[in-house]
Amino acid sequence: MSDGIALISTFSSDDECAQGIEALHRAHVHDFSAFAPFPSEKILEATSEARGQGRSPVRWWVLTGGITGILTAIALTVGTSYEWNLNVGGRPIASIPPYIIIMFELMILMGGLSGLLGFLFHSCLPAFDSAAGYRSRFGADKFGLVVRCAENEVSRLESLLRDAGAEDIAREAVITQGVPSHH
């Protein structure tokens, strides 16, 4: 993308922020990112509406992890039992009922861990270079909406955002592609 201007608008409520996003959506501006101190449903719905995204792909990580876990457990329990073929208390060599527990636990373990990895991967964390337009208050009590646009669009978008209820809009020249963007 070519360098441009980043409009950093600050909102005091997530409703307004969401409205801002919808406004941008209507204006076919999609090169933005929203900041919030908590996972506001309104904002998330608005963004996924705007970006036309489905649900987060992290769930596939979890599913894969879970299945891997079950398979590992089957291999481990049944495999080692047949490796040794020991008669313990007259129980069958492959005593499925007890092994189910191992399968369950490993499913949870691997599913959970791969979920964490998926989350970090898709949120491109850890990332210690601060994204363009990030303000520390966005982590506390304010909601931010950072739009990147060419100079000629600035005024239109500013008014658009003000109508949505932005209480303050700052401009910042974008040096490089700073807004994280992946899915």
Q: Which of residues 85-144 bind other proteins (CB under 8 A)?
A: 86-92, 95, 97-102, 104-106, 108-109, 111-113, 115-116, 118-120, 122-123, 125-131, 134, 136, 138-141
Least distance (Å) from other proteins to the CB of residue 74? Answer: 11
Tokens of 180: 């994280």
Contact flag: residue 167 with other proteins (CB under 8 A): no
Determine, following the binding rule CB under 8 A, whether residue 168 of this chain makes contact with other proteins: no
**Region of 22-30, 52-60, 152-160, 166-174 interacting with other proteins (CB under 8 A):** 52-60
- The Cα 147–Cα 34 span in angstroms is 9
Intra-chain end-to-end CA distance of the chain, in Å: 17
Binding flag, residue 172, other proteins (CB under 8 A): no
From 23, 58, 147, 166, residue interacting with other proteins (rule: CB under 8 A): 58
* Distances, alpha carbon 37 to alpha carbons 32, 44, 62, 145, in Å: 17, 12, 26, 12
Q: How far is the CB of 152 from other proteins (least distance, A)?
A: 26
Region near other proteins per CB under 8 A, out of 1-9, 149-157, 159-167, 175-183: 175-183
Is the previous residue joined to 126 through a cis bond, with omega within 30 degrees of 0?
Answer: yes
How many residues at the interface with other proteins, by CB under 8 A? Answer: 73
C-beta of 145 vs 160, nearer to other proteins: 145
In DSSP terms, 7 is beta-bridged to: 147, 171
Question: Is the CB of 121 or the CB of 153 nearer to other proteins?
Answer: 121
If one asks whether residue 177 binds other proteins (CB under 8 A), the answer comes out as: no
Binding of other proteins by 49 (CB under 8 A): yes
**27: CB partners within 8 A, 6+ apart:** 156, 157, 160
Euclidean distance between CA atoms 108 and 93, whole angstroms: 25
Q: Which residues pair with 173 in a beta bridge?
A: 5
Residues in the chain, overall count: 183
